[in-house]
Chains A and B, each alone.
Chain A
Amino acid sequence: MKFKQGLFFKGYITIQIKGKKPELFLNQCIREDIAIWDIRRNSEMEIEAKVHLKNLTNIRQIRRRLGYKVSLKEKNGLPFILAHLRFRKPLIIGLFLSLVLIFILSNMVWQVKIVGVSPEMEYKIQERLDDYGLKEGVFKFTLRSVDDIERNITNELKDIMWLGIEEKGTTYIVQGVEKTVVDKEQKSMPQHLVASKDGTIMEMLVEKGSPKVAVYQKVKKGDILVSGIIEEGNGNINGEKEDADDQKDRQQYVHSKGTVMAETWYTTETTVPLTYKHQSLTGDKDHHYSLKIGNFSIPIWDFLSPDYKEKHMEKEDNSLYFLNFKLPFSIEKKTIFEKETTTGKRDEKTAIAEGIAQAKRELKKHTNHDAEILDERILHEKVENGKVKLELLFIVKEDIAKPQPINQGE
């Protein structure tokens, strides 16, 4: 029954053969190797049969030779449906347009929902999202990667602790968690100020509490600088013994406050290479879009590659959707940046200067903003394998007071 395979796609017809002895017509068909099936005898003079569409011309030739009357009764299969549709162009165009429309609309952002934050913060996030292009009415594939947007906004808005963007079809749900400013209930809690680092005290400014150390005194990490316990009876402890209860009454717990500037020492080691090479982007860039089907990609926009000497390429894949279904092709966005490599040499002197600057930058990260570098000294200096190895000492003036709550044991 091989000839009956794919009947619908090839198309077949039902014909009526009229004439004397229609068997002869059938015999002729067999001789010409035309497949016929479902043959029915309607009357003495008439036969009905089905043949492939491709054999229609042969049938006509036989008809002419044998002088039978052959009429088409039914047309079946895809070729006829298509031929029929050709006369209904508006229908086809409408169907096509609606598919295109659905396709376009499926790839647009329809809603950006911001949840979990206060209205004020919502506005701020909205503003940022607009900047990054995530807003209603844009095409999904023009968007930057969601991870990037998340990261950037979390960095830019200080009051946001976490931001998650979830893609749900054509809706983007942005979920934010605000940093809740912890109420400083410790404000009234009694506390000491202790040293956060070893150092020599240079200046003291105590607003509250009783100082336990003096200027130019060396302190170690953890030493109490300003005590939160003030003993009122300080004036008259002239040998008189007082009851323990009494003493406790006279003690007053306060929230000590103040700044204790101290000189602290830091030793760091840095190495600076004598020859350097670093790459940077010049800011010139070129966008390329292509349609990707499996591993095959067809460029859509910008076919010429820019004549950059050195390039840095970033690829981004955005899937296309039809309604909620992910289509097997995607739009690939390629961004090509111009890259610049600078190489150079420096002598020992500049290398040392560079090393010191580098160490200073590093130090700034580890100390408070009000820290001030008083002096720097090179303890050790060595040139090795084309690199300068430095051991540096920094003398820094900074606030070392660190609050420590007093446990009243109640």
Chain B
Amino acid sequence: MNKWRGRMKQWVAHYFNLPDDVLLDLPRITTIGQLHAYIENHHGLVTFTENEIVVKTNQGYVRVRGENFVLKTMLQEEIIIEGKIQDVQYVDN
């Protein structure tokens, strides 16, 4: 049932030209150079250290690695990371 619903949503998003992140509750990650990373539609913070941040998303986790991380802002919908970003990685369950 759940799988079918997900497919349906994908189909709607495709045929009506709607952004996937809104409809499918997927994370949207925006990086500005190495300086900032905006992670939207997150589901909570798992790890936060100076060199690594792991954020839970709809499907799995997003791991951001780098140096001197500071969480600039943390809101229900959005996390803004500041520091020197080196890599962004999707990690499955």
Which chain B residue shows the least CB distance to A30?
B76
25 A-B residue pairs with CB within 8 Å: A3-B75, A22-B48, A23-B45, A23-B46, A23-B48, A26-B45, A26-B48, A27-B45, A30-B44, A30-B74, A30-B75, A33-B76, A35-B73, A35-B74, A36-B71, A37-B72, A37-B74, A38-B70, A38-B71, A39-B48, A39-B70, A39-B71, A40-B70, A41-B69, A47-B48
B73 CB contact (under 8 Å) in A31, A37, A47: A37
The verdict on B50 contacting chain A, using a C-beta distance below 8 Å, is yes
**Interface positions of A (Cβ within 8 A of B):** 1, 3, 22-23, 26-27, 29-31, 33, 35-41, 47, 49
CB distance from B49 to the nearest CB of A (A): 5
How many inter-chain residue pairs (CB < 8 Å) link A and B?
47
Query: Which residues in A have their C-beta under 8 angstroms from that of B45?
Result: 23, 26-27, 30
A-contact bits for B35-52, CB 8 A (1 contact / 0 none):
000000000111111100
Query: Which residues in A have their C-beta under 8 angstroms from that of B46?
Result: 23
Query: Which residues in B have their C-beta under 8 angstroms from that of A27?
Result: 44-45
In the complex, what distance in Å separates the CA atom of A74 from the CA atom of B82?
Answer: 22
In the complex, what distance in Å separates the CA atom of A12 from the CA atom of B56?
Answer: 28
Which chain A residue shows the least CB distance to B51?
A41
CB distance from B55 to the nearest CB of A (A): 10
In the complex, what distance in Å separates the CA atom of A129 from the CA atom of B76?
Answer: 74
Query: Which residues in A have their C-beta under 8 angstroms from that of B70?
Result: 38-40
B48 CB contact (under 8 Å) in A31, A35, A38, A41: A41
Which chain A residue shows the least CB distance to B46?
A23
Query: Which residues in A have their C-beta under 8 angstroms from that of B73?
Result: 1, 35-37
| Contacts A30-B76, A35-B74, A41-B69 known; 5 new A-B pairs at CB < 8 A | A23-B46, A26-B45, A31-B44, A37-B71, A38-B70
In the complex, what distance in Å separates the CA atom of A36 from the CA atom of B71?
Answer: 9
Contact B49 A41 (CB under 8 A): yes
Query: Which residues in A have their C-beta under 8 angstroms from that of B74?
Result: 26, 29-30, 35-37, 39
CB distance from A40 to the nearest CB of B (A): 5
- Mark out the residues of chain B between 2 and 30 whose CB falls within 8 Å of any chain A CB in the assembled complex: none
Query: Which residues in B have their C-beta under 8 angstroms from that of A37?
Result: 71-74
The 3 lowest CB-CB distance pairs between A and B, nearest first, are A39-B71, A36-B74, A27-B44
Query: Which residues in A have their C-beta under 8 angstroms from that of B75?
Result: 3, 30, 35
In the complex, what distance in Å separates the CA atom of A23 from the CA atom of B73?
Answer: 14
Query: Which residues in A have their C-beta under 8 angstroms from that of B44?
Result: 27, 30-31
In the complex, what distance in Å separates the CA atom of A31 from the CA atom of B45?
Answer: 11
Which chain A residue shows the least CB distance to B77?
A30
Query: Which residues in B have their C-beta under 8 angstroms from that of A39?
Result: 48, 70-71, 74
Query: Which residues in B have their C-beta under 8 angstroms from that of A33?
Result: 76
A-contact bits for B64-84, CB 8 A (1 contact / 0 none):
000001111111100000000
CB distance from A8 to the nearest CB of B (A): 18
Query: Which residues in A have their C-beta under 8 angstroms from that of B71?
Result: 26, 36-40, 49
CB distance from A43 to the nearest CB of B (A): 10
Contact A23 B72 (CB under 8 A): no
Which chain B residue shows the least CB distance to A26?
B45
CB distance from B72 to the nearest CB of A (A): 6
Contact B50 A38 (CB under 8 A): no
A38 CB contact (under 8 Å) in B49, B72, B76: B72
CB distance from B54 to the nearest CB of A (A): 9
In the complex, what distance in Å separates the CA atom of A35 from the CA atom of B75?
Answer: 6
CB distance from B79 to the nearest CB of A (A): 9
In the complex, what distance in Å separates the CA atom of A31 from the CA atom of B47?
Answer: 16
In the complex, what distance in Å separates the CA atom of A22 from the CA atom of B45?
Answer: 10
In the complex, what distance in Å separates the CA atom of A49 from the CA atom of B79?
Answer: 14
